[in-house]
Amino acid sequence: MRFAFTDDQIAFRDAVKDLLSKECPPEVVRAAWPDGTDDHGARKGEGARADADRVAKVWSDLAEMGVLGVAVAEDHGGLGMAETDWVLLAEETGYAALPHPFVETACVVAPLLSETGDGDGVLGELVDGTRQAGAVSLNGSLVAWGDAVTYLVALDRRGGEDGWSARRITGGVALGDDEHHRRHLADALDAGRHLVQLGAWKADATLGDTDAARRAFDRGALGTAAQLVGLGRRMLDLTVEYAAERRQFGVPIGTQQAVKHHLANVAMGLRFAAPAVYAAAWSMATGSPNASRDVSAAKSLASDAARTAVRNTLQCHGAIGYTVEYDLHLYLKRAEALSRAWGNAAWHRRRVGDALDI
């Protein structure tokens, strides 16, 4: 029994953390927000913008570091690592609110293709960062970074855990097929996610068996859970700093018990979600029969912890947090979006309930 990461895993995490803190600061996250007004007339991401080239650079830097191929077999050009190796990296991409489909590309599609033979021959491009992958799950139709992804997979479940399927989406009014649907970003809460709404689509073939599909979905939920923990920590860090500085009634607001208790609750949720996320990574990495149950437990805890963080950190900021000029909203909206992506907390609890046979 040893519940801790190896020194190598920590070192890799630290390297990615360093890279993201330099190359993906708030102004880069902000630069990924679309310019101009949306259909409602609002300028959602308004504020100082970084050079848009920097947005692309983060992704190629990550590719260079090998991060995008972390879960791809070595003979496919990856690092051949397991969930326990990348879960901390996913957490850091959450902390940075990385404006790219890291989970979909590196945690879901690339390892799925690596496992099922890469019949479409795209794995090399996914690993070297020249192509991004997307994934929709649970009959969803919203593709994150749908204007950029050029390889799209649907992960669905029909009739219980044995009914999982992974299909490549190719035809119909799917991504890229139809100029009207292509690159038209939906107006959404987190415009930095570049959501594209998928129309009716078709699939030409199934990728792998039901087990591979289930594991692909579980990796998506796990990676998202890790990102939520990272996002929660970012919101907490921002708020602790603000609460120590901001003065009202002659004292820093952080001296107020109400503020302390709000933030203690945020920290508590994250402190108990994180080990569950790491344990789920271990269950996945070791092929535990409880892997799906553990992933679902982790995602529900992480979703709930992130939502507590959203509510409490906004409240502790007050009006300044309620503006798009201040950075909090970048992380807050990502967290709110991801808390429902890949199954919300209640969906995952129902799955745990099924596993517990109740």
Partner 1 sequence: MDLTWSADEEQFRAEARTWLEAKLAAWRARHDNRILSGDTTEGFAQHLDWERTLFDAGYAAVSWPTEVGGRGASRWEWLIFEEEYYRAGGPQRVTQNGIFLLAPTVFEFGSPEQQAHILPRMASAQDLWCQGWSEPNAGSDLASLSSRAVRDDERGGWVLNGQKTWTTRGAFCTHLFGLFRTDPASERHRGLTYLLVPLDLDGVTVRGFGRLDGDEGFAEVFFEDAFLPDDALPGGVVLGGVGEGWSVAMATTSSERGLTLRSPGRFCATADRLVNLYRERSKDPDALDPGLRDRVVQGWIAAEAYRWQTLQTVTDDAEGRSAGAASSFVKLWWSELDVALHETALDILGAEAELDNVWSKGWQFALSGPIYAGTNEIQRNIAAERVLGLPRK
**CA–CA gap between residue 216 and residue 112 (Å, rounded):** 6
Q: Of residues 53, 75, 179, 357, which one binds partner 1 by CB under 8 A?
A: 357
Q: Does 197 bind partner 1 (CB under 8 A)?
A: yes
Estimate the crossing angle of helix 257-285 against helix 210-245, to 10 degrees.
160
- The least distance separating partner 1 from the CB of residue 32, rounded to whole angstroms, comes to 15
DSSP code per residue over 15-37: HHHHHHHHHS-HHHHHHTSPPS-
Q: Does 244 bind a second copy (CB under 8 A)?
A: no
Q: Does 25 bind partner 1 (CB under 8 A)?
A: no
Q: What is the DSSP secondary structure assignment for residue 318, as one 8-state letter?
A: G
What is the number of other CB atoms lying within 10 angstroms of the CB of residue 4?
A: 8
| Total residues interacting with partner 1, rule: CB under 8 A | 94
Q: Does 258 bind a second copy (CB under 8 A)?
A: yes
For partner 1, which stretch binds (CB under 8 A), given 48-56, 91-99, 122-130, 181-189?
181-189
Residue 79 tokens read as 């690092």
Q: Which does 99 bind (CB under 5 to 8 A by kind): a second copy, partner 1, none?
A: none
Q: Does 265 bind a second copy (CB under 8 A)?
A: no
Report the DSSP pairing between strands 201-206 and 151-157.
unpaired
- The least distance separating a second copy from the CB of residue 59, rounded to whole angstroms, comes to 45
Classify residue 81 as exposed, middle or buried by CB count within 10 Å of its CB (0-12, 13-18, 19+).
buried
> Would you say 10 and 169 are in contact if contact means Cβ atoms under 8 Å apart?
no
**CA–CA gap between residue 285 and residue 71 (Å, rounded):** 11
**CA–CA gap between residue 293 and residue 253 (Å, rounded):** 41
Residues 237-266 as x/- pattern, contact with partner 1 by CB under 8 A: ---x--xx--xxxxxxxxxxxxxxx-xxx-
Q: Which does 353 bind (CB under 5 to 8 A by kind): partner 1, a second copy, none?
A: partner 1
Q: Does 248 bind a second copy (CB under 8 A)?
A: no
Q: Does 65 bind partner 1 (CB under 8 A)?
A: no
For a second copy, which stretch binds (CB under 8 A), given 7-15, 137-145, 252-260, 339-347?
252-260
Q: Footprint of a second copy on this chain (CB under 8 A)? A: 256-258, 261
